[in-house]
Amino acid sequence: MDPQRAEPLGSAELSMPRDRLALQKNSVCSRSYFLVVMVFVHVYIINVIALLLYVHYNNGPGDNSGPLSDVTSAAEPPEVGSHTHPPRAPEPSVVNRHLHRMEGIRVGHVQKVQLTPGRVHEMKTLSLKPLLFEIPGFLSEEECRLIIHLAKLKGLQESQVMIPEGGDELAEQLQISQEEIFHLLDHNRDGQLQLKEVLTHSRVRDGIWLTPENIREVYAGLKADPDGDGLLSLEEFKKLNSSAFQHFMQQRGVEKSQLVRNSKHTWLYQGEGAHHVLRQLRQRVIRLTRLPSWIVENSEPLQVVRYDRGGHYHAHHDSGPLYPETVCYHTKLTANASTPFETSCRYVTVLVYLNSVPGGGETTFPVADNRTYEEMSLIQNDVDLLDTRKHCDKGNLRVKPTQGTAIFWYNYLSDGKGWVGDLDEYSLHGGCVVTQGTKWIANNWINVDPDFHRQAQFQQLMADLDSREVHENRDDELYRDMQAERDHPQKNKVYSDQDLHQDL
């Protein structure tokens, strides 16, 4: 393209020799001949330049403003396992830097979606904050049973192990004084620490889920609140060792029910060569979310979770907030920077219920479609909306586990330009305690770096690895290593998917 650009350049260049030729029409033949040759040379060079420009702009995204211009090759679909796939056409979403986002319309709205040949599914809007949908019959009974079977063959591990003490070291490293911690915790700045201010802090730090009763128990055990007003003053707080809480709880004995989550899980590879049901599930997720296959194919493997009776997962976000310094686990290798904040950048969660649970086990969205979101108001007196063992019934929305039903939601808002924006705090959710039977679910997370440039670099890296045929399961291994490191910093145990393939 771009004849407009090439043409003025060409005519300007050509005009000079033409004039000269006219002025020197009486010159000797050899000189005229020389000029004609020169004109030819000029035309030739201009043609070459025009051709180069044509090639450049045609291969390019057609817009050389901003970061798009140098991610052309990265934006090509990486063609995971391209040696066995038919070539895919470049997706417009790549070029336009636009991720599809469903319209919720209104709560209760039902839209029809075609996910499998010859069948139309119904997708119902459950909430707008977060944007949450329910799709009954997303998986068949047989597919659900098979995925459970594959997970059992692979073997499941505890989802949360006790986190060793280390809070003091961190505080020392950061050189934060007790007084500074006190002021950070004193959210309402009244010079006293209320129970909920202490609770919020404790959970983040050590993964033990403290209830208001636990806190009172710890206060009594450590004689931390001598005036007995249920509040910690700065003086009272200063006398407390910052790891005293955890010491106390551990000596007392922490049961699984007191952890943030109580379940077992495993990861199932979904890339090339995986079981056809797992491949189909991934394709169905692509059709459901309408996100580019090159993003979905390079996202985390399928996580299968089992909650036994008494199992739960207190309310949480699937991904973290985004600060300028935040890097995503999946693009960390390409980010080429050491930053203090890391998160999983799970743009979308697709959760499928693999069985119908006889009692409990609902997925709760405690603040769905709430008018406001405020972290501190999640705990009011003794009602803790985050507590899925005690207060699931007080949340705004609960989804009952029904075999084959999928729910999916966006953990991040849009940035207004078609890419990923801020964390949607309303996506807070948890697994209510299972009171009867066992609950099996499968999670597919779609990872997108909010930094478009880094996501593109990541895609390029994956495409390069693939073209070198480094390892057929390299993306899965990449994720598995990250996940293992995150879940079990001490053990870092990595399971082989080859075992699974051989078993099948």
State the amino acid at position 460 in one-letter form.
Answer: Q
Question: Cα–Cα distance between 402 and 331 in angstroms, integer?
Answer: 35
Q: Which is nearer to Ca ion, 219 or 419 (CB)?
A: 219
> Interacting stretch for Ca ion, rule CB under 5 A, among 158-166, 221-229, 311-319, 411-419?
221-229
Q: Any residues with CB less than 8 A from the CB of 272 and at least 6 apart, and which?
A: 80, 81, 84, 472
CB-count exposure of residue 55 (10 Å: 0-12, 13-18, 19+)? exposed
To the nearest whole angstrom, how small is the minimum distance from the Cβ of residue 337 to Ca ion?
Answer: 36
To the nearest whole angstrom, how small is the minimum distance from the Cβ of residue 240 to Ca ion?
Answer: 11
Does 322 bind Ca ion (CB under 5 A)? Our answer is no
Question: Cα–Cα distance between 473 and 407 in angstroms, integer?
Answer: 28
From residue 229 to residue 248, what is the string marking binding to Ca ion with x (rule CB under 5 A)?
x-x-----------------
To the nearest whole angstrom, how small is the minimum distance from the Cβ of residue 182 to Ca ion?
Answer: 9
Question: Cα–Cα distance between 383 and 428 in angstroms, integer?
Answer: 16
In angstroms and rounded to an integer, the radius of gyration of the C-alpha atoms of the chain is 30
Q: In 354-496, which residue ranges form alpha helices assigned H by DSSP? A: 452-467, 474-487
To the nearest whole angstrom, how small is the minimum distance from the Cβ of residue 376 to Ca ion?
Answer: 9
To the nearest whole angstrom, how small is the minimum distance from the Cβ of residue 198 to Ca ion?
Answer: 9
Q: Which is nearer to Ca ion, 201 or 275 (CB)?
A: 201
Residue entry with tokens 């699984």: 256
To the nearest whole angstrom, how small is the minimum distance from the Cβ of residue 315 to Ca ion?
Answer: 22
- How many residues of this chain bind Ca ion (CB under 5 A)? 9
To the nearest whole angstrom, how small is the minimum distance from the Cβ of residue 205 to Ca ion?
Answer: 18
To the nearest whole angstrom, how small is the minimum distance from the Cβ of residue 219 to Ca ion?
Answer: 8
User: 269 near 301, Cβ under 8 Å?
Assistant: yes
122 three-class SS: strand
Q: Which is nearer to Ca ion, 194 or 263 (CB)?
A: 194
Q: Which is nearer to Ca ion, 7 or 227 (CB)?
A: 227
Q: Which is nearer to Ca ion, 186 or 369 (CB)?
A: 186
Question: Cα–Cα distance between 75 and 95 in angstroms, integer?
Answer: 7
Q: Which is nearer to Ca ion, 216 or 491 (CB)?
A: 216
- From candidates 79, 143, 225, 475, binder to Ca ion by CB under 5 A: 225
> Interacting stretch for Ca ion, rule CB under 5 A, among 40-48, 80-88, 227-235, 438-446?
227-235
- From candidates 63, 142, 180, 227, binder to Ca ion by CB under 5 A: 227
Q: Any residues with CB less than 8 A from the CB of 206 and at least 6 apart, and which?
A: 163, 165, 167, 245, 246
Question: Cα–Cα distance between 310 and 257 in angstroms, integer?
Answer: 7
Q: Which is nearer to Ca ion, 99 or 193 (CB)?
A: 193
User: 133 near 408, Cβ under 8 Å?
Assistant: yes
Within 179-218, the residues that bind Ca ion by CB under 5 A are 186, 188, 190, 192, 194
To the nearest whole angstrom, how small is the minimum distance from the Cβ of residue 380 to Ca ion?
Answer: 15
Q: In 175-228, which residue ranges form alpha helices assigned H by DSSP? A: 178-185, 195-206, 212-222
Question: Cα–Cα distance between 101 and 292 in angstroms, integer?
Answer: 11
Q: How many CA atoms lie within 13 A of 116 on its CB side?
A: 13
Q: Which is nearer to Ca ion, 66 or 226 (CB)?
A: 226
Within 56-85, the residues that bind Ca ion by CB under 5 A are none
Question: Cα–Cα distance between 215 and 96 in angstroms, integer?
Answer: 52
Residue entry with tokens 């007084």: 179
Q: Which is nearer to Ca ion, 225 or 362 (CB)?
A: 225
> Interacting stretch for Ca ion, rule CB under 5 A, among 39-47, 220-228, 435-443, 458-466?
220-228
Binding positions for Ca ion, rule: CB under 5 A: 186, 188, 190, 192, 194, 225, 227, 229, 231
